[in-house]
């Protein structure tokens, strides 16, 4: 009997892994789901090596869209990440340099130091990154003065995968039970 | 029983630089408020190392405009520090830069604010 997947990503509360080893995931990449089996999972600690500094923006300045190469995953691995902004900047998350996440029709939601007030576990910040489908970050300094740094820290889980070649989204050959992982922006 | 009550945080805590008032009776910036933000003063520390008592005003507007107080004036006595905690400071929410003026130059002032995202 197959194990039921935890199909509820972005869950409230402290971060938890969304699947177990042996379960099947479909990763949303390039507008299709690709299917894999989970082989192995381990945590990624919230720590200085997982902290990205987006620079020192002047008052009212906007940084470039910065590729988060620090978070690149090896082949056949994806990460489940939550993030917290540590300095007083508003951050936009991209997945694909021009593909904004967390967007509405006309505006894009931003992350800041204030989010921790309303979302202490940062569950709304959860993102998934597969291999080198990079996250990109852009910071705006909305404080009234220049900042010396603009840091974002990450934590979460690392998932090691094996390919399931029998399944194909385009041909509609789908696993019976699988968990959908939004690993890129939905354009 | 404690005389204060617990209040949920509405924003993030920040502090101003230590401002040594440059010219007597001329208001200057004390804390710069961010775009789309408001602030509430939570702590005030004033040090008077000068030769005369000073009346320190905290408010809005910079010189040449006159300061418009957002809390009453504070008397800073020679050789003393004045420390005001949030229990004693009125909950005045301001959406523009906080400024300071003093009747004696050289008075040092620092505030802590709760900055709130609107």
Low-confidence ranges of chain B (pLDDT < 70): 1-5, 118
User: Which of B53, B63, B52, B61 minimizes the C-alpha distance to B26?
Assistant: B63
Q: Which residues contact A39 (CB under 8 A, 6 or more apart)?
A: A21, A160, A161, A162
ipTM over 0.85: no
User: Which of A154, A129, A157 minimizes the C-alpha distance to A42?
Assistant: A157
High-pLDDT (> 90) share of chain A, %? 82
Q: Is A177 on the interface with B (CB under 8 A)?
A: no
Does the pLDDT of residue A62 top 70, yes or no? yes
Residue extents of the structural domains in chain B: 12-117
Per-residue pLDDT at A184: 83
User: Which of A76, A62, A35 minimizes the C-alpha distance to A150?
Assistant: A62
Of the pLDDT bands very low, low, confident and very high (cuts 50, 70, 90), residue A186 is confident
Q: Is A51 on the interface with B (CB under 8 A)?
A: no
Provide the 3-class DSSP secondary structure of residue A29: strand
How far CA A117 is from CA of A16, A33, A140, A152, in Å, comes to 21, 35, 19, 16
Contact (Cβ atoms closer than 8 angstroms) between residue A126 and residue A73: no
- CATH number for the region A45-155 comes to 2.60.120
Predicted confidence (pLDDT) per residue in A73-110, tens digit: 999 999 999 999 999 999 999 998 889 999 999 999 99
User: Which of A117, A113, A121, A114 minimizes the C-alpha distance to A152?
Assistant: A113
Give me the numbers of helices (H) and strands (E) for chain B, helices first please: 0, 11
Per-residue pLDDT at B2: 53
Length in residues, chain A: 187
* Nearest CB to A117; choose among B9, B34, B97: B9
Helices (H), ranges, chain A: 115-118
Residue extents of the structural domains in chain A: 45-155
Report DSSP letters for B48-74, one per residue.
--SSS-EEEEEEE--TTSPPEESS--E
Ramachandran region of residue B25, left (φ > 0), alpha (ψ -120 to 50) or beta?
left
> Among A89, A117, A119, A120, which would you mutate to test the B interface (most chain B Cβ atoms within 10 Å of its Cβ)?
A117
How far is the alpha carbon of B49 from chain A, nearest alpha carbon, in Å? 28
Predicted confidence (pLDDT) per residue in A36-45, tens digit: 999 999 999 9
CA distance B37 to A88: 12
Question: SS3 helix, strand, coil % of chain B, rounded to 5?
Answer: 5, 45, 50
Give the mean pLDDT of chain A: 92
Q: Give chain B's contact residues with A (Cβ, < 8 Å).
A: 9-12, 14, 31-37, 97, 115, 117
- Listed as own residue / partner, the contacts of A97-106 with beta carbons closer than 8 Å and 24 or more positions apart are A97/A65, A97/A67, A97/A134, A97/A136, A99/A184, A99/A185, A99/A187, A100/A185, A101/A127, A101/A185
**Per CATH, the architecture of B12-117 is what?**
Sandwich (2.60)
Per-residue pLDDT at A8: 72
């Amino acid at each position: 009997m197959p194990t039921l997947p935890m199909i509820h990503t972005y869950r409230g509360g402290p971060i938890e892994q969304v699947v177990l080893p042996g379960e099947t995931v479909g990763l949303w990449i390039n507008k299709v789901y690709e299917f894999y089996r989970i082989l192995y999972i381990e945590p990624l600690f919230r720590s200085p090596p997982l902290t990205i500094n987006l620079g020192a923006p002047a008052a009212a300045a906007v940084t470039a869209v910065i590729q988060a190469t620090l978070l690149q995953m090896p082949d056949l691995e994806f990460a489940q990440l939550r993030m917290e902004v540590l300095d007083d900047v508003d951050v936009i998350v991209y997945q694909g340099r021009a593909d904004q996440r967390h967007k509405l029709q006309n505006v894009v939601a931003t992350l800041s130091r204030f989010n921790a007030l309303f979302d202490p576990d940062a569950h709304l910040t959860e993102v998934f990154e597969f291999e080198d489908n990079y996250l990109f970050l852009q910071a705006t300094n909305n404080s009234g003065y220049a900042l010396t740094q603009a840091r974002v820290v990450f934590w979460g889980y690392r998932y090691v995968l094996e390919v399931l070649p029998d399944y194909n989204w385009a041909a509609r050959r789908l696993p019976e039970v699988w968990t959908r992982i939004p690993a890129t922006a939905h354009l | 029983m404690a005389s204060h009550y617990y209040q949920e945080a509405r924003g993030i805590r920040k502090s101003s630089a230590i401002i040594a008032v440059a010219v007597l009776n001329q208001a200057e910036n004390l804390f710069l408020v961010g775009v789309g933000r408001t602030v509430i003063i939570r702590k005030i520390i004033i040090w008077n190392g000068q030769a005369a008592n000073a009346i320190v005003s905290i408010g809005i507007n910079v010189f040449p405009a006159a300061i418009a107080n957002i809390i009453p004036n504070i008397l800073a006595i020679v050789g003393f520090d004045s420390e005001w905690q949030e229990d004693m400071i009125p909950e005045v929410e301001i959406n523009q830069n906080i400024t300071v003026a003093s009747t004696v130059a050289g008075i040092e002032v620092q505030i802590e604010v709760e900055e709130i995202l609107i």
